[in-house]
Structures are given as C-alpha cells and as structure tokens.
Amino acid sequence: MNGQIVLCKGVNDGKELAYTIEQLSKYAPVMQSVSVVPVGLSKYRDGLYPLEPFTKEDACEVIDLIEKWQTINYERHGIHFIHASDEFYTLAERELPEEERYDGYTQLENGVGMIRLLMDEFREALAKEKKHPFMRKKECAIATGRLAAPFIRMLCQEFMEKFPKVTVHVYEIRNDFFGEKITVSGLITGQDLMAQLKEQPLGSHLLLPQNMVRAEEQDFLDDVTVAQLSDALQVKVDIVKSSGQDL
C-alpha cells in the first residue's frame, strides 16, 4: 500500500503533518511509502476554501520534517517511507535527494523523484553516445513547465557541450490557462504553447513531454490537437516519452 498527503498551508501542515507522519509510520513497512505534495491552486477558485501557496520558508520546514522522519524510518524499517515531492525541493531551492533515498521510485506518479530519475537516466545515456565528426548542424526546441525547465535546460547544456553542432532551445511555458501557480508540464495547454512559442526560434522540431497530451486523442487539455499546434507554429512536433534515455 502507498499513500499520499496533499498538503494545504495552515490546514494540515506544521504540527498536523508531524502527527500524520508519526501515525502513518506505524504502518511501515506494510505501508510501503507516503508522498507529501503541495495542493495545486488554479486561478478558478471562486467560492472555494481560501488556500495560500507555500513559500520557500514553508517548503524548507516541510523538507526538514520529512528528512527527519526518513532517518527514523530507515533505521526502523530499512525504507525511507515518507517523501517530499520534487516541487517542494525546487521551491526550497535545495538539492534533490540522491537515487537511493527514493526507495525504488514508488511515488513517481505523484511527482516524487521524477526529476532525479530523468537526470540520472539522461546522463547515463549521454555518456554512451559517441561523438560524430561528420554530424550536420541541427536545431530544435523543447517546451516544458516552470517546475522542470531549469533541470531540462541544464541537461540540454550538457548535451550541447558534447555535441556543439546541435542547438537546443528550452522554453519555460507559463500556465495562463489554469493560472501561473500551476507549474507542471502535464497541465500545459495547446493555446498557451501557441501564444508563447509563435515568435520564438524552434528549429526543425519542437519536442514535448508525453504527459502534455492525451494518448489516444493526441490533443491537449483544451482540445487543441498536436497537428493543429504543428500547423500554427509551422514546425514538426515530436512527443517524447518520459525517460531520460528518450529525451
């Protein structure tokens, strides 16, 4: 069994979170893992409970508490059990945990360890790639959400250092459709991509992560299709699988 805590500032954080982790830890290792993720706040909140976004200081407190309990649970059960989402680490401007601390990435679908796994897989694949002396110049673009953009940009820089004839533009897409507080790539819409990329250099291909589109329909959450985006931007659009090797 795996669990998730959706953390709401002033509601179930602080002492409430400490109590929750303490109680849930009693179920380890039968309960294999618990993730702690910040509540998603879109701009469509009229008449809803007044929730505030977490600050950098809040994120640091959450991580400190979780890492304390990771140590306790590892000593007791040999697993870290409780995990902060990638979003908390980026908000706190802290280094992501090393691979071993994710206990086999049991919480990937909840945004826990996705960036660490992507970086490790990408670098492993890049190290195996041989330089091609006769490679022609190539140019492409990647669009992603605000959460992943700094990491994607760093990886692409490493790629371009090894293959200087390749130029990769990385664009951080602001979520105007759902609101700027939504930073994940999976909730970016076709209309936001069109509006923010139309004047940008894209090269021969625009690469988008698989989680941006609905698999069967090949469209975005606002019903814009991949084909319509390609026509609007006059560029070939490639949907890239989520692994570092695919990137």
Going by their DSSP bridges, the two strands 2-7 and 33-38 should be labelled as parallel
Tokens at 201, concatenated? 């250099």
Amino acid identity of residue 162, one-letter, is K
The alpha carbon of residue 125 and the mean position of all alpha carbons in its chain are separated, in whole angstroms, by: 20
Query: Can you tell me the distance from the alpha carbon of 234 to that of 236, in angstroms, rounded to the nearest whole number?
Result: 7
Predicted pLDDT at 133:
74
pLDDT at residue number 131: 84
Report the pLDDT value the prediction gives residue 56, as an integer from 0 to 100.
97
Can you give the pLDDT at residue 40?
92
pLDDT in tens, the chain (247 residues): 999 999 999 999 999 999 999 999 999 999 999 999 999 999 999 999 999 999 999 999 999 999 999 999 999 999 999 999 999 999 999 999 999 999 999 999 899 999 999 999 999 999 999 887 777 899 999 999 999 999 999 999 999 999 999 999 999 999 999 999 999 999 999 999 999 999 999 999 999 999 999 988 889 999 999 999 999 999 999 999 989 999 9
The encoded tokens of residue 204 equal 């021969």
What confidence score (pLDDT) does residue 188 get?
A: 97
Instruction: Supply the pLDDT for residue 132.
Output: 79
C-alpha to C-alpha distance for 25 and 93, rounded to whole angstroms: 27
Residue 242 is predicted with a pLDDT of 85
Q: What is the pLDDT of residue 48?
A: 93
**pLDDT for position 51:** 95
CA 179 – CA 18 distance, rounded (Å): 30
